[in-house]
Each structure stands twice: as C-alpha cells, then as structure tokens.
Amino acid sequence: MAAALFVAAPGLATAAPFATPVLRAPAGGFEELTVPSSMGPIKVQVQWAARGGSSALYLLDGLRAPADHSQWTTDTDALRQFAGDNVTLVFPVGGHSSFYTDWYRPSSTNQQQITYKWETFLTEELPDFLASYGVSRTNNAIVGASMGGNAALVLAAHHRDQFRFAGSFSGFVNPTYPLWDQAMRAAMLDEGNFDVYDMWGPPTDPAWARNDATVQAELLRGLPIYVTSGNGVPGAFDLPNGLGDTVNAMGLEAMSATAAQIFRDRTTALGVSARVDILNGTHTWPYWQQALTTARPMILDALAASA
C-alpha cells in the first residue's frame, strides 16, 4: 500500500492525503542504462519485465566480455526467450577477464588504471540503481557462462538476500583445484594480459577459497541451482566452427565437465540439492543458449514470475 503524506493547512482541521508514487519498472522494451560505480560509468543493457514486474535475472558474460554489449544479447536468443515473461533481464556490459569479483588491485601486467570491483557493483551499486526503476533488490536470479558461471554461484552464495536462483553454464566452479590457478593465469594473460594474482593473490590466499563455488557449496543450501557442462564431445552446434576453434572448445569444456563433476560430488556429500547436467557439447554459445532454455522454467518458478 502506498504511504500517505498529510500536510497541515491553515484553518483546516485535516488535510487531504497525497499518495507517494509507487515505483514500477517499465512494462517491456529494451534499454541501455549508464550506471555509476567505483569503476566509473558501467553500461547495463536491460529488457524490462513484460508486465512491469519487479523480479530480475542477471546474466554474466564469459572471459572475452566485450566493452560495448553483452554477448547474451547477440550470441543467444535470451531476449526472445523471456520477451513475454514478467522478469527484467539485466546484462552488465564489460568485465573482460574480471571473473566478476572484487580485485585486490589493478592488473600489473597490462597497465590497467582501475581496480575491478565487480562484486560490489553487482550486489550493491547496480541493485541500488535498478531499485529506482522498481526492480527488487531481493527477488533476483543470476546465471553466467564460462567465466561468469562460477561467479554466478559465488555471488549467490555470499548474497543470499539478493538471489533466489543461481546457474552456471560451462563454468570453472572449482578454481582451487590443483594447478587450475595456472590454467586461469594462462587464459587471463592470453585474454587481455591480466594477472590473476592481482585478482585474488597467490593460490594460498583465502580469496581463492571464498571465490570457489565448490568450496562454498554449503552456503548454497536451499537455493535452486542449475549447473551444466558439455563433456567436450563435439555436437551439432560445433559443425559451423573451424577445426581450431572446435579443438580449443573441446579442451575448455573437458575442464568444465571435471569441475561440474567435483561440484556434484561435493553437493551430494553435503546433502545440498543441485541439478547438475553433463551433456554432449563444447565450450560455445549455442550450448549456453540451450542451457538457458532448460533453466528458464526453474528461474521463473524461483522468482514467482510465471504469471
């Protein structure tokens, strides 16, 4: 119910009530917002809930996150999938090789000028900004592909008041696995010359465990979770790709599958409910589109956004 403001007027015993406007998100449509942050202005693409609902789904990009758009908007049919649903899609733009986490310092290997503070942005600055449009701070889901997969689970684990569903699609959800820091280091140096140790410090630093979804699995108890990975075996979606791209995508997905299996074993041992699917496929966007299709009814149910 809207709050009422009563103003005393001379000569009157009572005054007429004036209703305070209730914030409500726009009903449908696509928009690009500029959101203030400690990192500077961040572009965020949104597709507003079809009927002005307050729930939201955050979608995180992979390691190559472009500076001008979310790949979810160009490399998948996410916009079409949710066009009729009463949930706002939130696509943060940028975060190249960031793992959507708060770094200790700017990367020392590429003259980065700012310190990445993506966890702060996604859990404080962005929700506060979206609240001015009527988007809930507490009725949200989050999914991510590749780099964004582990981040989605970790953000949900540490911010249970914000997220009601979390999904990882081909995410490396066990970064503390022996020597995987070296694999991440090689990938980040290759993709923008970023230094992983400026992110979380050496592998012995507690930041690594804090940002490992498998280690933090207990914090996910009671949260609807969907983790999926390919097994590295090429499928129909790989046919248009060149051999080099396919071989690289096979190797990456084999690592992702190993991480998904470890996560499944960990949650099973803890008695934490999680759906984990390991299917045929490689590390490419068509499979993540397919994963989003599978996750969609789970997301809508968790957010009570089906109606």
Identify the sign of the CA torsion 170, 251, 205, 60. negative
* Distance set, CA 299 to CA 222, 224, 226, 273 (Å): 14, 9, 10, 16
Give residue 92's Cα distance to chain centre.
9
Residue 35 DSSP SS3: strand
From 54, 146, 229, 256, active-site residue: 146
Name the strand (E) or helix (H) holding 199.
Answer: helix 196-200
From 55, 107, 253, 256, active-site residue: 253
Of 100, 147, 96, residue with least CA distance to 126: 100
Per the listing, tokens 């000569």 go with: 11
Fill in the amino acid letter for 51: R
146 given a catalytic annotation: yes
d(CA 140, CA 162) in angstroms, rounded, equals: 6
End-to-end CA, the chain = 21
Identify the sign of the CA torsion 304, 77, 234, 64. negative
283 given a catalytic annotation: yes
Of 126, 109, 112, 134, residue with least CA distance to 38: 126
Query: 35: which 2 tokens?
Result: 């959101």
Buried b (16+ CB within 10 A) or exposed e, 40-61: eebbbbbbbbbeebbbbbbbbb
Contact by Cβ (8 Å): 230, 283: yes
253 given a catalytic annotation: yes
* Distance set, CA 116 to CA 106, 123, 206 (Å): 7, 14, 18
Could you give the residue numbers annotated as active site?
A: 146, 253, 283
